């Protein structure tokens, strides 16, 4: 695997290779099998797979979260080598941002729904960094996880609005055997939190199993109640939405997804499940 830390070097390398197709997997690092499943999917369809590891400060609304974000770069490099990733882009913050850069993209209601309500500014930071990374890597295909469902919709909207020539592929959520969605933040869970965290996937599955026999508003309320019954769990939202707009679902919505976020101990987790 080739590792680059500057824009100039990675651009030069990719243009010299002139591959038929480049697949790109942007990450914040602290890699787990969820990330590696994206690399594997990208490898199936591309000549060159580029992974970026960049803890993007502009998407963190909580400075403590940014400070505590795990950065095990040596272990990450070993995992990427093992997965057969071809190129790692691992820039410093100063390589990506000039001081006091301004960015705003009007992505409509998507910005303030769900995660947007609880993480103000988060999706502006996400679109800002993904725009820059796409401009550097110029991939044919961008691979992102369903784990961050709203992020996928936000980036799709940006790609559409700015007419960026990239295809987007959504990869399924990788879970631990007991159902917990893999996340870089799971290492912050104490053994007790780790057990309590199972209530997220259990509740999502319960809602899916009961979807046809209940009305949507009641289901959302029951799901919130179920989450609250678990020790150490403070739910922020549980919503059943139209999978395309992320506005409240109705029974006619073609795609329906349930999304939730909760604090488990001190750790904030998100999860979701396609209901239809
Ligand atoms: P992150 O490093 O958390 O920004 O994630 C980088 C990419 O990996 C994003 O597209 C995520 O949606 C995806 N991802 C994170 N967790 C998982 C998972 N458990 N399964 C599949 N993809 C994931």
Predicted confidence (pLDDT) at residue 100 exceeds the cutoff of 90: no
Overall average pLDDT of the 109-136 stretch: 98
Task: Indicate the DSSP class of residue 77.
Answer: H
Distance from C-alpha of 119 to C-alpha of 114, rounded to nearest angstrom = 9
Contact yes or no for 216/249 (Cβ under 8 A): yes
The single residue listed with the structure tokens 């997997």 is: 25
**C-alpha of residue 218 to centroid of ligand 1, in Å:** 30
Q: How far is the CA of 124 from the centre of ligand 1 (A)?
A: 18
Tell which one of 25, 26, 27 to mutate to probe ligand 1, the residue whose CB is within 8 A of the most ligand atoms. Answer: 27
What residues are in contact with ligand 1 under a 6 Å CB criterion? 27-28, 34-35, 37-38, 144-145, 147-148, 171, 173-174, 181-184
CA dist 272 and 259 (Å) reads 4
Q: Element (H or E) spanning 152, and its range?
A: helix 149-161
pLDDT tens per residue, range 184-201: 999 999 999 999 999 999
Q: Hey, what are 210's tokens? A: 């009961």
What's the average model confidence in pLDDT over 172-180? 98
CA of 175, closest atom in ligand 1? 19
Residue 99 reports pLDDT greater than 90 = no
pLDDT at residue 102, rounded to an integer = 94
Mean pLDDT of 89-105: 95
What is the CA(145)–ligand 1 centre distance, in A?
A: 5
Averaged pLDDT for residues 3-8: 98
Predicted pLDDT at 155: 98
As a whole-number percent, the residues of the chain with pLDDT over 90 amount to 99
d(CA 86, CA 225): 46
Residue 188 appears among annotated catalytic residues: no
State how far the alpha carbon of 141 is from the alpha carbons of 21, 44, 53, 138, 250, in Å: 8, 12, 17, 9, 32
- Average pLDDT rounded to a whole number, residues 267-274: 98
11-40 per-position pLDDT tens digit:
999 999 999 999 999 999 999 999 999 999
Q: What is the pTM of this model?
A: 0.98
110: tokens are 């998507």
Query: 73-83 vs 33-45: helix axis angle to the nearest 10?
Result: 40
Residue nearest to atom 14 of ligand 1 (CA): 145
């Amino acid at each position: 695997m080739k590792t680059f830390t500057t824009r100039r070097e990675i651009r030069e390398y990719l243009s010299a290779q002139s591959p038929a197709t480049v697949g790109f997997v942007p990450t914040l690092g602290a890699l787990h099998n969820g990330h590696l499943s994206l690399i594997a999917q990208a490898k199936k369809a591309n000549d060159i797979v580029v992974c970026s590891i960049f803890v993007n400060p502009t998407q963190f609304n909580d400075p403590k979260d940014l400070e505590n974000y795990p950065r095990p770069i040596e272990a990450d490099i070993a995992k990427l080598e093992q997965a057969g990733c071809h190129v790692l882009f691992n820039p410093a913050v100063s390589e990506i941002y000039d001081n006091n850069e301004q960015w705003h993209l009007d992505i409509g209601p998507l910005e303030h729904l769900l995660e947007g309500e609880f993480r103000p500014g988060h999706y502006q930071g996400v679109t800002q960094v993904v725009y820059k990374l796409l401009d550097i890597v110029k991939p044919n295909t961008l691979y992102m996880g369903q784990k961050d469902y709203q992020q996928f919709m936000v980036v799709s909207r940006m790609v559409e609005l700015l007419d960026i020539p990239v295809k987007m592929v959504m990869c399924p959520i990788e879970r631990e055997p007991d159902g917990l969605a893999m996340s870089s933040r799971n290492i912050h869970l104490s053994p007790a939190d780790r057990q309590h965290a199972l209530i997220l996937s259990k509740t999502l599955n319960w809602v899916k199993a009961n979807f046809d026999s209940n009305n949507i508003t009641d289901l959302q309320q029951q799901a919130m109640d179920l989450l609250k019954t678990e020790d150490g769990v403070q739910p922020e939202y549980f919503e059943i939405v139209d999978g395309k707009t992320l506005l409240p679902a109705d029974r006619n919505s073609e795609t329906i997804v349930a999304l939730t976020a909760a604090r488990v101990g001190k750790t904030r987790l998100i999860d979701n499940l396609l209901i239809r």
